[in-house]
Amino acid sequence: MEAKRLKGVILSVEDTLLSTENYKKEIFSEVEKLVAFLKLRGITPVLLANRAWTITDKDGNKKCLFEALESHFNNLVIFTRQRDHKVPNKPQSAATEYVLKEMNWKSNEVVYIGSSINDMRTAVNGKILFLRATWYSNNLDYGFEFHEPKELARFIDTLCLRTHFWSFEINDKGFEYYALAPFSTYKPQFKKYSENARAAAKFGQGNVDFWLGALVTSMYFTGIYKSIDFIASYPGHKVGSGNDKMNDDLMTFGKCFNKGYLHDLVVRHKDALKSQTARNQGIKIDYHNQLNTIKLNKLPTKNYGKSYKNPPLQRGKTVLLIDDICTKGWSIDTARKYIEKTGAKVVMVTWLKTINTDFETIGELPNFNPYQVNDFEKIMPGKYYPYHSNLVDPNASEELGTQLQQYLDWDWPKF
């Protein structure tokens, strides 16, 4: 899978470059830094606008805003019908398609920074990741939110400009699994980021935003989102569904591309025994601990709205299944088995994959109903995927560790 590089950002005028209410000098100076930062990183900013804008200078003279912005930001490219009647109006998908064609960009080589409903619709129609600017005004509850330009610049610098998106990858006749990096709290080169990820995944500490941002950008720039129809997360050990650390961001990511987030698709109907607890009690557990404690919700809820009236999973559909830390793969492969029983396909993604541990799939199951409680016995193991054979990019872990530290220490570069 060919990964793309961030080449450009599409910007809006309204409450993104400028406030629609009053001139806010302090915030605008931060916007200036953002545009300068983009130039420093070789990223082209594009302004996409539907209508003409005028401003009044200090002498009371009215002038074209676009000319003023071009004079102020010498790296800004402007697309507007006021200059070129061929530019389609937002929020049509044709508007972003026109920009991409003119700039020779692919959709996942760009992010959209905006603040209005029209911006959101434009990004969704263009299948472009939407980053919501709230530094001037908070106009809608949609998209990945950034309170200040500096926060957005950090997101771009530490997460969007990575070149190693997956360290562990399996692609085998429809079996797909990806992980950002190896997990180990003992190996010095993995220890710091692994401890941070574990704290984020298990306790909501660490830097949850970094890990979800890394996951989202990896899925975006490698194009995984293009082949899926739904997104679901694997539940924890306790009775329930969804993942309270990831639910909001996974739903936001899904909405950016009209993919439904089904937080209650995979249901834990009975507590599963934790591996550590089992070890402490001298109990040997395997994948039956997962197989017999989950089931699927036949009519799940889409984006925390209404439940489906008919089962959404069927042949021809694909579910992106997300979990945090994968050891042997028993948990996420259990959900894969249940989902595939509906006829749908599965793409599995986790934050990290335990070092030096093979991915062990579950063998063939007897005929069963994935929407009901099951009690499987003596299920044989399936195919083993050796850890080292599927470690496709050893550099990913070093990059991720470096970027986490930069994320923690980030400040505006010197221009």
Task: Please say if the pLDDT value at position 284 is more than 90.
Answer: no
The CATH number covering residue 79 comes to: 3.40.50.1000
The structural domain count of the chain equals 2
For the sheet containing 294-296, what is the strand order?
A: 240-241, 266-268, 294-296
Q: Is residue 2 assigned to a domain? A: no
pLDDT digits (tens, 9 = 90+) for 64-108: 889 989 989 999 999 998 888 999 999 999 999 999 999 999 999
Residues 66 and 121 in one domain: yes
Residues 133 and 50 in one domain: yes
Whether residue 137 contacts residue 34, with contact meaning beta carbons closer than 8 Å, is answered with: no
Q: Is residue 407 assigned to a domain? A: no
- Of 105, 139, 160, the last residue of a domain is 160
Q: Is the pTM of this model over 0.75?
A: yes
> How confident is the model at residue 145, as a pLDDT?
96
Residues 278 and 368 in one domain: yes
DSSP β-bridge partners for residue 132: 114, 145
Task: Please say if the pLDDT value at position 375 is more than 80.
Answer: yes
> How confident is the model at residue 186, as a pLDDT?
94
Task: Please say if the pLDDT value at position 274 is more than 90.
Answer: no
> How confident is the model at residue 174, as a pLDDT?
92
Per-residue CA distances from 307 to 185, 196, 299, 300, 310 (Å): 41, 35, 6, 5, 9
More confident position, 320 or 68: 320
- What average pLDDT score do residues 42-53 get? 93
Residues 116 and 237 in one domain: no
Q: Is residue 1 assigned to a domain? A: no
Tell me the Ramachandran region of residue 127: left when phi exceeds 0, alpha when psi lies from -120 to 50, beta otherwise: left
Q: Is residue 405 assigned to a domain? A: no
> How confident is the model at residue 1, as a pLDDT?
62
pLDDT digits (tens, 9 = 90+) for 206-224: 899 999 999 999 999 999 9
User: Mean pLDDT for the chain?
Assistant: 94
The CATH number covering residue 248 comes to: 3.40.50
Q: Is residue 26 assigned to a domain? A: yes
> How confident is the model at residue 266, as a pLDDT?
98
Residues 376 and 298 in one domain: yes
Residues 15 and 43 in one domain: yes
Q: Is residue 409 assigned to a domain? A: no
Residues 298 and 389 in one domain: yes
Residues 346 and 387 in one domain: yes
Decide: helix, strand or coil at residue 92. Answer: coil
> How confident is the model at residue 278, as a pLDDT?
65
Instruction: At 58, list the tokens.
Output: 């200090």
Which residues neighbour 285 within 8 Å (Cβ) at sequence distance 6 or greater?
273, 275, 278
> How confident is the model at residue 202, as a pLDDT?
86
Full domain range(s) for residue 192: 168-395
Task: Please say if the pLDDT value at position 230 is more than 70.
Answer: yes
Buried b (16+ CB within 10 A) or exposed e, 215-238: bbbbbbbbebbeebbbbbbbbbbe
Q: Is residue 406 assigned to a domain? A: no
Residues 226 and 367 in one domain: yes
Residues 114 and 176 in one domain: no
- What average pLDDT score do residues 332-346 get? 98
Task: Please say if the pLDDT value at position 387 is more than 80.
Answer: yes
Residues 58 and 124 in one domain: yes
pLDDT digits (tens, 9 = 90+) for 120-161: 999 999 999 999 999 999 988 889 999 999 999 999 999 999
> How confident is the model at residue 319, as a pLDDT?
98
Q: Is residue 415 assigned to a domain? A: no
Residues 275 and 325 in one domain: yes
> How confident is the model at residue 63, as a pLDDT?
83
